[in-house]
Amino acid sequence: MHIHIVKFSRCIQFSWALVFVVLLVANQGQIQAGEQIVSIREDVASIEHDFSGKEQAQLLAVFQESLKVLPASLDEDRKKALHRFLASRYEDYVLSYSTLAGREDQESAWRVQVNTQALLGLLKGIGVYYTGSRPLAYRLQIMDHGHQAQQIIAHLELLSGCVQDSVLYPLLRFESVADGMWSAVLESEQNTWRAKGEKLADVWQKLWAEYFSSPEGMKPFVHSMQLHMKGWSSMSAVSGFSKQLKEWHQVVDRAVLDQVLVQGGGLQGWWTILSPEPKKLNGRLDSYTSGLGLTWKLKEEKT
């Protein structure tokens, strides 16, 4: 009898684990999307931006979604720089759009679904996600450049939150090469990245995307946290919380579920989280767990 009970218990645990894996894979296959409702004055949109009302609505929706997911508020100059940057690429982040009932004041209303997941990748890659409240000091070396290149770099620095200083690293070296191409090397203490392209801005974006996705690039801007939470009643609830964590974009850069255990008739889980705002993450966890019978502990990993 005892042997049968042990086998049955293991079978249940294995089944729950299998259910969790299925739920986790299903969630990973879903695109994180945000919805924005925007209003555009058709006459103003076409004159000021040379865009149609539809195009201006999509750009505004992607811009507003960007501001929504950033950990820190941007000043007006950086907002303008971000808006200008998105103006040439916003279409890549629009999933769908539709018109809403018109208004008498010549405003058109639009519902726009934005690919938040892909947009976050862009915002992290150019650095604006990380440097909202803390700029990155870097050293620049550039050869064969004129006034236009200086203007482009100044705009990109403002957007990315990069400030020229006398630091050793990171070091960005630009040079123009044959056929109007730009070649650049970005060096950090541990890595070297190279890129080449026709546009200086594209080369900048490629190199800093490599830097900010590296552990040393993220380290000054995020805190590595360990979250232990117990009191779950089902694997679907654990999976749902994991999904929720990844939607708290302002306070969670990345979240990975490390382990789930069955103990005392309930489930408990451990997550590793990279957070740009640990205090705000604490507040989110308090609100989320209120009244659910869950207990949790969040602590920073020593590095």
pLDDT tens track for 61-73: 999 999 999 999 9
Q: 37 lies in which domain range?
A: 33-115
Using alpha carbons, select from 211, 213, 281, 219 the residue that is nearest to residue 246: 281
Please check whether residue 280 lies inside any domain of the structure: yes
Same domain assignment for residues 51 and 97 = yes
42 and 100 both lie in a single domain: yes
Number of domains in the chain: 3
In a domain, 130, yes or no: no
Cβ atoms of 113 and 33 closer than 8 Å: yes
What was the pLDDT predicted at 102? 61
Query: Domain ends where: 218, 235, 264?
Result: 218
Residues 6+ apart with CB under 8 A from 4: none
| pLDDT computed for residue 2 by the predictor | 32
Return the structure tokens found at 140. Answer: 């620049």
Residue 97 counted as domain residue? yes
Show the low-confidence residues of the chain (pLDDT under 50).
1-28, 45-48
Does residue 10 lie within any of the structural domains? no
Give the pLDDT of residue 46. Answer: 46
- What are the C-alpha distances in Å from 45 to residues 6, 95, 104, 107, 286? 69, 21, 17, 10, 43
Structure tokens at 65: 């979604």
The domain boundary residue, chosen from 200, 218, 236: 218
d(CA 84, CA 19): 46
User: How many CB atoms within 10 Å of residue 55?
Assistant: 18
- The SS3 of residue 173 is strand
DSSP state of 278: H
Hunting for tokens 């999933």 — which residue is that? 95
**140 shares a domain with 208:** yes
Residues 246 and 188 in one domain: no
Closest C-alpha among 261, 263, 270, 264 to residue 241? 270
Is 26 a member of any domain? no
- Structural domain ending residue among the three candidates 84, 115, 146: 115
